[in-house]
Amino acid sequence: MLRLFCLAGLVVLIALNASAQSAKELAKAQELLKTGNELLQQGDASQAVAKFNEVAVLLPTSPVAYINRGLAFAALGKYVEALADADKALSLVQPDRYAARFSSLANQVRARVYQDQQDYELAIKFYSKAIDIDSSNPVFYISRGVVFLILKQHDKAINDFSKTIELNPKLTQPYVNRAVAYRALKNCDAAIRDTMEAIRLSPSDIAPYLNRANCYLDLKKYDEAIEDLTYAISIEPKADLFYNRARAHSDRGDFATSISDNTEAINRDPKHEKAYYNRGISYQRTKQYGLAIADLRKALSFNEDSPSRRYNLAIVLYEARQYSEAIKEATILISNFPEWRAPVALRSNAYGLIGESMKMKADAIRADKLDATWKPKEEGFFILNLTYFSTKEEDL
Angle subtended at Cα 327 by Cα 325 and Cα 333, rounded to the nearest 5 degrees? 110
pLDDT at 112: 95
80/74 Cα distance (integer angstroms): 9
pLDDT at 382: 82
Asked if pLDDT for residue 199 goes beyond 50, the answer is yes
pLDDT band of residue 2 (cuts 50, 70, 90) is very low
Measure Cα distances from 125 to 44, 81, 141, 149 in Å.
Answer: 29, 20, 12, 15
pLDDT at 389: 39
How do residues 42-92 score in pLDDT, each as one tens digit?
A: 999 999 999 999 999 998 988 999 999 999 999 999 999 999 999 999 999
Domain ranges of the chain: 1-134, 330-396
Q: Residue 130: exposed, middle, or buried by beta-carbon count in 10 A (0-12, 13-18, 19+)?
A: buried
Query: What is the CATH topology of the domain spanning 1-134?
Result: 1.25.40
Give residues with Cβ within 8 angstroms of 21, minimum separation 6: 29, 58, 59
Closest Cα partner for 356 from 331, 387, 386?
331
12/21 Cα distance (integer angstroms): 19
Stated pTM of the model: 0.82
How do residues 110-166 score in pLDDT, each as one tens digit?
A: 999 999 999 999 999 999 999 999 999 999 999 999 999 999 999 999 999 999 999
Closest Cα partner for 242 from 256, 259, 255?
259
Amino acid residing at 75 = A
How do residues 237-270 score in pLDDT, each as one tens digit?
A: 999 999 999 999 999 999 999 999 999 999 999 9
pLDDT at 25: 84
pLDDT at 174: 97
Range of lowest pLDDT (11-15, 27-31, 145-149)? 11-15
